[in-house]
Amino acid sequence: MADVRHAFVTGFPIKHSRSPLIHNYWLQYYGLQGSYKAIENSPEQFPYFIKTLGEKGLRGGNVTLPHKEAAFALCVKYDEAAKAIGAVNTLWLDDKNILNGSNTDAYGFAANLDAQIAGWDQAKTALVLGAGGASRAILYALLMRGFEKIIIVNRTEQRAKALADHFGSRITAAGWNQAQNLIRVADIIINTTSLGMSGHGDMQAFPLDFSEAKTGTIATDIVYIPLETPFLRQAREAGLRCSDGLGMLLHQAVPGFEHWFGIRPDVTEELRNIILDDILKA
């Protein structure tokens, strides 16, 4: 009998997740039997759900908000990225039925820029806006790609300082009042704040001016709804090289699919358009 595998994405809430669209596209594209479904779990339900994956016939899956830290605590084995970031977004049961965890957000961030802006990691100075959970994955990716100087700017400077302490000497922290000046020295600017994210209040203008950025500076946002955030629109209008957040979503899904279904899938233009259509319909 064919080896039919089943995977999931869980979060709370989960109904807006695009992950089922991505993984079911690949299942069909590669002609594989199997399934990938969204399953909602409250924080109270989450540990039991994870501990009984094998009994439910689930090989593994994705974990999203608010469960990424809880998933990290439940995994028996995890990779370097998960350890450094302190959160798991991808997990799977191995041959011995041991729960493994990974964080593929850093991979997704870097792989998307590899695909969109060749040589992006030859830059030296990165400016990271925001110091929440998403910022941790970006910092890890930048460190892995050899950035010499990474400056985190955050409204609550203390959170930026805590991240700088955690990730080491190549990282410095600054308050939001220094952001405008730091734009002049940055080779790449990454927005990890929720400013401009759909559903987080109406924002017409991002509170920074990019016109003094160096020639060739890159701007990227991790938010993909809207696809062009106010941050990206202003950066594009100021002549920066821009990459939107949808690519990171698509690329972070690649290692999980490979763990569960045994094929390393391609991020195709067709897949991007399918997800884009779905976002525009919403």
Residues in contact with ligand ATR by the rule CB under 6 A: 130-135, 154-156, 159, 192-195
Residue 132 Cβ vs ligand ATR, minimum distance, rounded to whole Å: 2
User: Which residues, other chains included, contact 273 with Cβ-Cβ below 8 Å and sequence gap of 6+?
Assistant: none
The CA distance from 129 to 190, in Å, is: 6
For 60, the 3-state DSSP assignment is strand
C-beta of 138: minimal distance to ligand ATR in Å? 9
Helices (H), 4-77: 19-29, 46-51, 68-74
Residue 192 vs 229, nearer CB to ligand ATR: 192
Closest separation between CB of residue 191 and ligand ATR, Å?
A: 9
Q: Which of 15, 37, 51, 68 is catalytic?
A: 68
Is the torsion defined by CA of 225, 232, 270, 3 positive or negative? negative
Looking at beta carbons only, is 53 or 138 nearer to ligand ATR?
138
Minimum CB distance to ligand ATR, residue 243 (Å):
18
Minimal distance, residue 230 CB to ligand ATR, in Å: 12
**Closest CB to ligand ATR among residues 193, 234:** 193
Nearer to ligand ATR by C-beta: 196 or 247?
196
Q: Percentage helix, strand, coil, to 5, in the chain?
A: 40, 20, 40
Q: Which residue is nearest to ligand ATR (CB)?
A: 132
Can you point out the beta strands (E) in the chain? 5-11, 34-40, 60-63, 77-78, 90-93, 99-102, 125-129, 149-154, 171-175, 188-191, 218-221, 241-243
C-alpha 201/C-alpha 5 separation (Å) is 40
214 labelled catalytic: no
Question: Which residues does the annotation mark as catalytic?
Answer: 68
